[in-house]
Amino acid sequence: MHRRLATALAAPALALVSVLGTATAADAVPADKPQVLASWTQTSASSHNSWTAARADRSAWSAYRFDWSTDYCSTSPDNPFGFPFSTACARHDFGYRNHKAAGTFSANKARIDSAFHEDLKRVCNSYSGATKTACNSTAWTYYQAVKVFG
């Protein structure tokens, strides 16, 4: 009786192990995922532009299984005083969420926050005079908030 039960259970278990083993190999994330993630969370305009292009064509990056979800600027306005900060907030969320998932958040938080500030200042650079000053002040406030509370 025990032998028949063991034999009956062995075949499905072996099949399950086979399927899981195959699924794991087929679903493997590209080895350069950490490098891509790091390149998209730098302070430079080229890093921002690369991330923006990838975000516009997420399907091309599906094998990397990045978390593209965002709540934009969380509980702060996405467009304070009319300044369009939502994309900067989305990239900041991307950096936080994906570095946390990779277990590399604490080593990268300061840079991700700095990249956020640079993204906000790039928004402000499209203004001049008092409007630019107000935008930069708002950007500084948003940066300080994520630096301290993020």
Indicate which residues carry an active-site annotation. 92
Give yes or no for a contact between 121 and 136, defined as CB atoms under 8 angstroms apart: yes
Half-sphere CA count of 42, side-chain side, radius 13 A: 12
Compute the distance between CA of residue 143 and CA of residue 150 in angstroms, rounded to an integer: 9
Tokens describing residue 70: 């965002």
Tokens describing residue 7: 């034999």
Which residue reads 């994330």 in tokens? 29
Compute the distance between CA of residue 77 and CA of residue 45 in angstroms, rounded to an integer: 23
Residue 92 identity:
H
Sign, Cα dihedral of 30, 70, 147, 45:
positive
